[in-house]
Amino acid sequence: MMDCYWHEVDSPVGRLFLTGDGQALTRLHFQSPGRPMRPERGWRRAEAPFTAVCRQLTEYFAGTRREFSVTLALAGTDFQLTVWRALQAIPYGETVSYGELAKRIGQPTAPRAVGLANGSNPIPIIVPCHRVIGADGSLTGFGGGIPTKRKLLVLEGAPCVADLFEPLR
């Protein structure tokens, strides 16, 4: 059985629950009161495996980091992995629609499937699913909640919301 470590960290968008195998990050979960994640039996609480992730998240929230360089262990279907790779190619501060993302992966008739894969992303923020919005520019579904999605896009200065709200600081 593979080792699994966990750690919780506070952030400007709430408490984050991190999991990893000691080499790579496997999950970043928004700890909302209605959907908290708990460690499974046998998981070990440890801060050390998450030092780089926590430092990079702090830099991101401070506005000094635009790209993450931590090792990720993404587990999903081939389609999900394709969508998650495409998410990582969306530049900081930019947004795309689900339909546009579907076109980018060569599946122009699959925006709903792209939306489902986006919603299954196990490592939000770092795999920036918050940068995908509705075709009409609306902020649609996000595991951390629409207010959190808005805060992340404001932090990044995304044109769809940057002129409407004060930055996260």
| Residues designated as active site | 129
**How many Cβ atoms sit within 10 Å of the Cβ of residue 88?**
14
Token pair belonging to 12: 């400007």
Q: To which residue do tokens 């404001």 refer?
A: 154
CA distance 62 to 64: 6
Please check whether residue 67 is in contact with residue 92, taking contact to mean a CB–CB distance below 8 angstroms. Answer: yes
Q: Please give the full DSSP string across 112-129, using - where no structure is assigned.
A: HHHHHHHHT-SSTTTS-G
